[in-house]
Structure 1
Amino acid sequence: MNQPRGLADGLRLPAVALPLGLYVLLRGLDAPVLKRLQELGLQHQVNGENPISFCNVFFFAQLVVGVAALLGGRRQVGPALAALTTPQRWLLATDTLLGRFLAPVAYFTALQSLSVISQTLLFALVLPLSALLARALLAEPLPRAFLPSLVLISAGLLLPQLAATTSPGPMDDPSGLVWALLAVLAFSAAALTGRRIAAAGIPPVLSVGVGSLVSALVFAVLAVILYGPGHFLLLRLWWVVGVILIYALSLSLGSELALRHAYRHAGVATVSLWGSLTIAVAVLAAALLLGEPLDAATVAGVLLLLAGVGLARRRPLPFPGGRGDHL
């Protein structure tokens, strides 16, 4: 006998609460922790260079995610690869390039020039841009409340900037804005490739497992070319704990596993809606952990952003949540 939809949703709430809350916390801490690691690297340079680079950070982050994704389905890799058509192979390559290389590099570089709060607010643009790209390229309908949500998101972005015109933040730099917008574009485009991958039925062992391992290999090669093998060998305790244990294992892998578990108990719309709270977690963590200013205009901007994102997510999005929904 089928249960009423409302009752079934209510029964799923306790099961989804823990993984969803864990995802919100870990994803929200991503930018503040990465920013703190960048600062520590500047304070403890090795041979005059910051030991925290996008190469070694994302090498370990992508490595642990890729290995974890392959552990349960490594026997499926060969048959799944053999079953791929040529267009599907290009689709996976494009998704890896956008979502696992270009977007993280731009995200990391932007964070070097922007405050965590500024970057977090800017990344709210991923939602409307993804919807617009899905409409233009995949002919998918926009959410019913797209226009008012876009107005609220724009107001939430502009309010703190207008309030800061008389006293701009010391950590913000114009180059960081360019990198942030590039990251937003890459994450938004990756949402579309992720949507097409899901529609094609390509298993996560390929899209996540193999894709992450390939990008990890690219980051390792770049690290050797740009910095030499000493970039990995001259490790210190704070580096190992910060990069491998906290960022790679806890934040990257932890948020990925929590998100997957949440999707087992709730739909995309529910997970995406509550996932918007990562904005508030990131802003609050930046204020508490990094001492970034949290004034009334910023608080009001965050509230407007949450309202706009929540309004857009009252109906299922035209793309699945997850990596492309990097809020």
Structure 2
Amino acid sequence: MDRQRQGFLVSGRVYLIIAVLIFGAANAVTRQLTDLGAAHFVDGHNPVSACNVLFVGNVCALGLLGMLYHRQLRPGVLRQMAGRQWAILTLIAIVGGALVPMLIFTALSITAVNNVVLISQLSAPLALALSAVFLGARVNVAVALGAIVAFVGVALTVLLPTASPDSVETTMGLTIGKGDLLVLVAAVLQAIANLISKISLQTVPLGFFNVYRTLVGTVFFFVATIVLFEPSHFMDVTSPFLWQWMLLYSAVIVVGGQLAWFAGLKKSTASEISLATAFTPIAGVLAAYLILGEVPTVAQYVGGAVIVVGIVLNQIGVQQLNRATPLPKPPTPAAMNDKVLYKGV
């Protein structure tokens, strides 16, 4: 029995590692695709623009997710959801499926990938703080201190002087890059959405959650872009070059990452899940270097080092809290999102 359990847990670790590597590479891969599109202009336009990537990527992901989770889309399952759950689910889908990805996509076009990776770590301590205040989540000194240190690391990444052409000055006299500011807003929105998920969507099936989130996010983004801007943003949306890359992107980054993550959640302990997700920023920085050749700046080195210290402290606290904890309960939608801000479209 012990050997069977050990093999079970090892399998879970493997799935988690695969998922973290995929999610960590998502930002760098997105930037690489837009750069690739810039080398294959269609009628003078980049077919792999932010708008096209988000819309076509969501459409591709929606089709793949629909095939994977079609059993959770049956009328009997849908009728079990109350009207309040539908309203909350729709709100979270708009935030997580449209607003947050668009903020990240825009940030990736104007700032370094490493900044996006490191600053997005703010979502985790924010989610922890909100859960502790509103849900009474268990924390100890090490977990709380880790969150504070990680927050300081993000602040250093944002505020240490860099030669960024997109910087803006705040009302307090602080200089912050526009891309950094967009990631900060995305992190705050995602942390709030995670809290609402934990409160109201514990019983919503994971597969349905992701299909509905992708569907609503796609429709909302498309309509909002048409209304607020103009249809020309989707001028090259029919480009075969765009679709072939987005099909591959959606299959590997979105669907592959989610499947590996869900499998890891089901087969691993809470401590193992927390430890695996702690490596996401490291995976993101390494991916930016290996895929894009992006070398961290002094601010990123300093901020990243402090964030790693915060992660280590957090892990110490998590180990203390979960030392005697059995295998976790079935994962909820919030469990999918509370550690990693960006997982593709």
Distance 2:98 2:22 in 1: 21
**2:188 partner amino acid:** L
Q: Does the CA-based 8 Å contact 1:61-1:253 persist in structure 2?
A: no
Q: Residue 18 in 1 paired to residue 32 in 2? A: no
Amino acid of the structure 1 residue aligned with 2:339: D
Aligned residues: 317
Deviations 1:98-122 (A, max 9, x none): 1111111111111111101111110
Match status 1:184 vs 2:187: yes
Q: 2:178: which partner in 1?
A: 175
Aligned to 2:122: 125
Residue 197 of structure 2 is matched in structure 1 by: 194
Give the C-alpha shift of residue 65 in structure 1: 3.8
CA pair 324-190 structure 1, distance change in 2 beyond 3 A: farther
Once the two structures are superposed, the pairs formed by residues 160-309 of structure 1 within 5 Å of their partners are 165=161, 168-169=163-164, 174-199=177-202, 201-221=203-223, 225-227=230-232, 230-236=235-241, 239-245=242-248, 247-294=249-296, 298-299=300-301, 301-309=303-311
Q: 2:37 aligns with which of 35, 41, 51?
A: 41
Is the CA contact 2:115–2:180 (under 8 Å) kept in the aligned structure 1?
A: no
The separation in 2 between residues aligned to 1:39 and 1:106, in whole angstroms, is 18
* Structure 1 residue 15 displacement after superposition: 0.9
**Does the 8 A contact of 2:89 with 2:201 survive in 1?**
no
Task: Name the CA shift for 1:154/1:251 in 2 (closer, same or farther; >3 Å).
Answer: same
Structure 1: stretches of 5+ with no match in the other structure: none
1:111-153 CA-to-partner distances (Å, cap 9, x unmatched) read 1111011111101101111112223443434454233213421
- Residue identity matched to 1:168: A
Give 1:51's aligned residue: 47
State how far apart, in whole Å, the 1-side matches of 2:97 and 2:30 are.
Answer: 16
Gaps of 5+ in 2: 169-176, 323-327
In 1, the alpha carbon distance for the partners of 2:69 and 2:283 equals: 33
Q: CA 1:72–1:180 in structure 2 vs 1: closer, same or farther (change >3 Å)?
A: closer
Tell me, in whole angstroms, the C-alpha distance in 2 between the residues paired with 1:76 and 1:160. 42
The worse-fitting range, judged by mean Cα deviation, of 314-323 and 298-307 is 314-323
CA contact (8 A) 1:152 1:304 kept: yes
Q: Compared with structure 1, are the counterparts of its residues 179 and 229 closer, same or farther at alpha carbon in structure 2 (3 Å cutoff)?
A: closer
Counterpart in 1 of 2:90?
93
- After superposition, the C-alpha distances for 1:32-60 in whole angstroms (9 at most, x for unaligned) are 11112222334444344432233332234
Partner-residue secondary structure (3-state), 2:90: helix
- Higher mean displacement: 261-270 or 221-230: 221-230
Identify if the C-alpha distance between structure 1 residues 85 and 240 changes in structure 2 by more than 3 Å, giving closer, same or farther: closer
Query: Is contact 2:104-2:182 (8 Å) kept?
Result: yes
Please, which moves more after superposition, 56-65 or 296-305? 296-305
Q: Which amino acid counterpart does residue 15 of structure 1 have in structure 2?
A: S
Paired-residue identity, %: 23
Q: TM-score, normalised by structure 2?
A: 0.79
Verify the 8 A CA contact 1:117 1:282 in the aligned structure 2: yes
Tell whether the 8 Å contact from 1:111 to 1:176 is kept in structure 2 after alignment. Answer: yes
TM-score, scaled to structure 1: 0.83
